[in-house]
Amino acid sequence: MKLKIRLFAILFVITQLVNAQEYNQLTDYSYHGEVKTEKSTIIPLPSAKQLAFQELELGLFIHFGLSTYTGQSAGDGKQPASMFNPTNLDCEQWMKVAKDMGAKYVMLTARHEGGFCMCPSETTAYSVKNSPWLNGKGDVIKEYVAAARKYGLKVGIYHSSWHDANQWDWRDLHYFEDKPEELEKFTRLELQQLTELLSNYGEIDMMWFDHHGCPHVGAAQFWKRVDLLVSALQPNCMIFGNDYWLNGGHSGGANYPLWYGVNRGDGTRHTRPVNDDSKHGNPYGKFFVAWEANTPFSGNWFYNGPAVKPLPEMIDAYYKSIGQGTNFLPNFAPDKRGLMPPEVVKSAKEFGDELRKRFGTRIAGTSGEKEFILDLGKKTNINNIVIMEDVSNGQKVAAFEIDIRKKGKWETIYTGQTIGHKHIVPIELETDELRFRCTKSLDDTVIIREFAVY
């Protein structure tokens, strides 16, 4: 009897460890399979669309869907479509919030993990067409895209393609094992759904594929087919998973130092960055990746009440993301009416006003190579130093120092590592002259396209 109990206990512990390992693979953003990428000493180069994406810097994530009404975060795919019923949907109001905060692109959850579609998709009955909103004749995606274009914002669509709880239990990594016909049927459904999104609404600037490259059985070929479809239908579209990737989890801050190179699990763009490169990147990674950080500023992603993060926390996240070389995609959540609540409207404007206060007036600036001086002409109070590296020919700065002249001698006031697209140094000082020095680089062709004080 004791032996049976011990065996049961051992089996229970093993099962728990396996479940924990599989859960961790579901919730992190790195590759856990056999690594096939060879080491390199070649600096990865960005594409034109990656450089353009980095210039956007700040976006607005908008989580809105059936989960707004169910209170579920991921969604179990079982709640009725009839629960979706915004009484005053106004996508233009969302765009005003985005503009007030200084965002240049927006990202809407067209379909979250529960599987509910925000457009009247022909692939499923689980969509707005079976909701009471506008008697089933509405199309949130159509209104969203039109509003974004009206306000001059780049259009992003979030689609949790593999995770569709209305179709299957995506928490089971082995669900499609020995089910090739079911996997093919599911894949075709998802590809058709994506074809609708990428064909019916004009140009889509970026796709945010949650769980891209996930470790499930059958997922590798699935994601390759998704990537190829997007590239064929919208060649200028930034693909989350190929062209850009999440950094810093969902904390709102990036890891530092941060390189834009990564190696991927199978040596192709269709798999995730290997574990060693998923946090800080790799200066000689085979693939250039534009990093993005995100975090909810309101809601638990979806609306769950009026609470909004305090302004100091929002500003801190800005410095730790954009200020450390990534794009930043904070989330504000519309309420059940389909409107950004008053607390969000107020906080978004305060956030934007604070950024404009800090970075709206450029005192002086210059550009240069590995060492140069910025002469302010007179003693000047500064609060921020902004450095931008030209990464069009690869990211190269590995260490740098900033000096000020004090009593006729140079004094180092800041030591940093990578720069990338942008590095912000919040610092209060008075000086009339600053010096930039690159003390370590991957090669000697360093170009600093902007060295400015605010």
pLDDT, residue 55, reads 98
Using a 10 angstrom Cβ sphere, with 0-12 exposed, 13-18 middle and 19 or more buried, the burial of residue 446 is buried
Q: What is the maximum alpha-carbon separation in the chain?
A: 87
Q: What is the pLDDT along the chain (454 residues), one digit of tens a residue?
A: 443 444 334 333 333 333 434 434 444 555 545 555 556 789 999 999 999 999 999 999 999 999 999 999 889 999 999 999 999 999 999 999 999 999 999 999 999 999 999 999 999 999 999 999 999 999 999 999 999 999 999 999 999 999 999 998 888 999 999 999 999 999 999 999 999 999 999 999 999 999 999 999 999 999 999 999 999 999 999 999 999 999 998 888 999 999 999 999 889 999 999 999 999 999 999 999 999 999 999 988 999 999 999 999 999 999 999 999 999 999 999 999 999 999 999 999 999 999 999 999 999 999 999 999 999 999 999 999 999 999 999 999 999 999 999 988 999 999 999 999 999 999 999 999 999 999 999 999 999 999 999 9
* Domains of the chain listed by start with CATH number: 29-359 (3.20.20.80), 364-453 (2.60.120.260)
Q: Are 151 and 92 in contact (CB under 8 A)?
A: yes
pLDDT, residue 43, reads 97
pLDDT, residue 33, reads 53
Closest CA to 223 of 245, 239, 204: 239
Q: Are 28 and 274 in contact (CB under 8 A)?
A: no
Burial 340-364 (b: 16+ CB within 10 A, else e): bbeebbebbbbbbebbeebbeeeee
